[in-house]
Amino acid sequence: MKNRFLISLATVVASLVALPAFADSPFTGKTGPLKFEVDSAKSQFSFNADTAAEKVGGIAKGITGSFSISDAAAPEGTSGTITVLVAKMESGNAMRDDHMRKPEWLNAAAHPTITFAIANVSDLKVTGNKATGKAHGKFTLAGVTKDITAPVEIVYSAEKNMVKVTTDLKVPLLEYGVKGSAGTVGDKVSAIVTVKCTLFAAAK
């Protein structure tokens, strides 16, 4: 009986050793502050507001932004801002794009940008050069700013000295004062818009 217990214990220990090692940071071996600039040409921003009545989605070109990490050994201190120009958003329908920029929608003339200002990240789980967690900050749409939390994945390439940051947001249009034409939001356009960002940023 004792031998069986020892064999089982040895098996458990061996299986734990075989699991991926969790570190504190995906920036292995680095300390101190890091700064990254978003590569607009490579980065992607998409939005989806599909309903049963109509397919509404698209992309935005020319994303800009930067990230600062106060200490590479403790990436919870990540902060930065992502900016998208409303004028650069495209849904594949020129008439719909024109409507999207009008005052009853995103009001591009008065509020030309959409921003996500990241204050910090939490609940980080790190495996090798990848970390997942939650990004906390303020999201601004149509001139309205609200606190928001979004899942985030950070992948660091030491060879290229750049990061890939992926996140997605759920944006309730009515809470940002976006009502659209009478009855449109919640009917032809989903009241909750899903925004997905894949950002590539090089070290400054």
Confirm if 162 and 25 have CB atoms less than 8 A apart. no
Residue 86 is encoded by which pair of tokens?
Answer: 């409303």
pLDDT recorded at residue 3 = 53
- In whole angstroms, what is the distance from residue 7 CA to residue 134 CA? 40
pLDDT recorded at residue 15 = 41
Domain ranges for the chain:
20-203
Which is nearest to 152 in space by CA: 122, 128, 185? 122
Residue with tokens 């020892």: 6
- What secondary structure letter does DSSP report for 176? G
Q: Superfamily assignment of 20-203 in CATH? A: Lipid/polyisoprenoid-binding, YceI-like (2.40.128.110)
What percentage of the chain reaches a pLDDT higher than 70?
89
| Tens-digit pLDDT string for the chain (204 aa) | 545 544 444 444 344 344 333 347 888 878 889 999 999 999 999 999 999 888 999 999 889 999 898 888 888 988 999 999 999 999 999 999 999 999 999 999 999 999 999 999 999 999 999 999 999 999 999 999 999 999 999 999 998 999 999 999 999 999 999 988 877 898 889 999 999 999 999 998
- Greatest Cα pair distance, the chain, in angstroms, is 78
pLDDT recorded at residue 65 = 95
Span 51-91, pLDDT tens digits: 988 899 999 988 999 989 888 888 898 899 999 999 999 99
Which is nearest to 165 in space by CA: 107, 79, 103, 89? 79
